[in-house]
Amino acid sequence: MLSNRIYRYISSNSISNNNNNSKLIIQYFTTVTANLNLTDNNNNDIKEKQQHKVSQKQKTKTIEIVDEEKKKVKTAILMLNLGGPETLDDVEPFLTRLFSDRDIFKLPFQNIAGPLIAKRRSFAVKKLYASIGGGSPIKKWTDLQGKKITDILDTISPETAPHKHYIGFRYSDPLIDDALKSMKEDQVERVVAFSQYPQYSCTTTGSSLNNLWKAIDSSNMEKEFKWSIIDRWNKDTGFINATKTMVQRAIENYNKQVEEKGLQYKKPVLVFSAHSLPMATVEKGDPYPQEIAETVGKVMEGLGNCVKDGKPFQYILAWQSKVGPLPWLSPKTTVVIEKLAKENNNAIVIPIAFTSDHIETLSEIDIELQHTAKEAGMDLLIRSNALNDDPLIIDAMAQLVDRHLKSNKSIESTQYHLRCPGCKGDEYCRTIRNPILDDK
């Protein structure tokens, strides 16, 4: 260092140690060099601190980058469904959105008539929701399904991970607009719009997708994400197997209850019950009734014969949840149960168009239909459990999404672009925004 070099120079240049002046000079430079050494050490400390600060800043920046990368969601699974009021206060807003949807109801002066009908019906509907605990469980089940599906996807499809599910309900919170905002905040790259209606209808999946594309356009988010659609999965092997298993468990439960109640055994009739549809919609060519029937056929193929007599079960497809005076699909589930009771039959009711419990299963079937059966004299009516978060349906949905991602298709079904013969839909009907692949 500089201080050491000065000291060595003075000590070696004819300065005698006996000379007082020399001693003073040496003492002087000894003090100076000591101070210089201290300064050098201080400078080293400062440099080290500065380097440490730089290192810490670099580490912090690296952590921020890593955190930012973790925050990004590569693949979003948008769970599209009807929704339902979580509380009794949510009932009227839910009904208002429902009766204002022209994909289901086409009413004169609908912006006025829809809210009026909702207000008039809300008191009775609140009673129904009060009877099942004060609200719909559909958000709870959809959220649980989504979390379990994405956990599986992170394991079996690391190339499209991380995955995250978002809920986009049509008539209740969280709405599709809310999901879009959340996905933008999470810097999502690709979205799979996954309809939670296994069977396609313009009034369900079609309405949700139309609303999705409208929301994207109104938010100027057309290029924000790459899109693909799982628009229907009514014949999916995993879905059929999960539903068949629920029916088998229901049959076992039926046999057990017959024994426990000391009833005479009667082979139950299997009543597949689906949400009904206005005949005006059916007559336009809506594919829903056909796709429901295809699901029922596949389930019955896999079910096999009754263990009691070695013969197939008798079954029938019925329709529930009719609204208003106009004609809807028939026969009504209530009418079927009344008829079976009069013929001295028992029944197992199977919800075939729902992936989770909600008002149609918990109130219409478990309460109202049970009352109808007892009034008509039926000995025993039980319901096949909804799929909810059963491992079979969770795995089936995860595998379906995984296959869809690996296929690199924008749209799961080739039927999607085929409009109903009597379709009078708007510009959004059967379209897609910013697809991952233009495979029309």
At 43 the pLDDT is: 55
- Give the architecture-level CATH label for domain 237-383: 3-Layer(aba) Sandwich (3.40)
Provide DSSP, 397-431. HHHHHHHHHHHT-SBS-TTTT---TT----TTTT-
At 10 the pLDDT is: 37
At 17 the pLDDT is: 40
User: Tens of pLDDT along the chain (440 residues)?
Assistant: 444 443 343 344 443 344 444 443 344 334 444 444 444 555 555 556 566 655 565 555 544 444 555 569 999 999 999 999 999 999 999 999 999 998 888 888 899 999 999 999 999 999 999 999 999 999 999 999 999 999 999 999 999 999 999 999 999 999 999 999 999 999 999 999 999 999 999 999 999 999 999 999 999 999 999 999 999 999 999 999 999 999 999 999 999 999 999 999 999 999 999 999 999 999 999 999 999 999 999 999 999 999 999 999 999 999 999 988 899 999 999 999 999 999 999 999 999 998 999 999 999 999 999 999 999 999 999 999 999 999 999 999 999 999 999 999 999 999 999 999 999 878 899 999 999 986 55
Provide DSSP, 235-268. T-HHHHHHHHHHHHHHHHHHHHHHHHTTPPP-PP
At 44 the pLDDT is: 58
pTM of structure:
0.84
At 42 the pLDDT is: 54
At 41 the pLDDT is: 54
At 191 the pLDDT is: 98
DSSP three-state, residue 187: coil
What topology is assigned to 75-234+391-407 in CATH? Rossmann fold (3.40.50)
Q: Within a 13 Å sphere around the CA of 176, how many CA atoms are in the beta-carbon half?
A: 25
At 68 the pLDDT is: 52
> Chain-centre distance of CA 397, in angstroms?
10
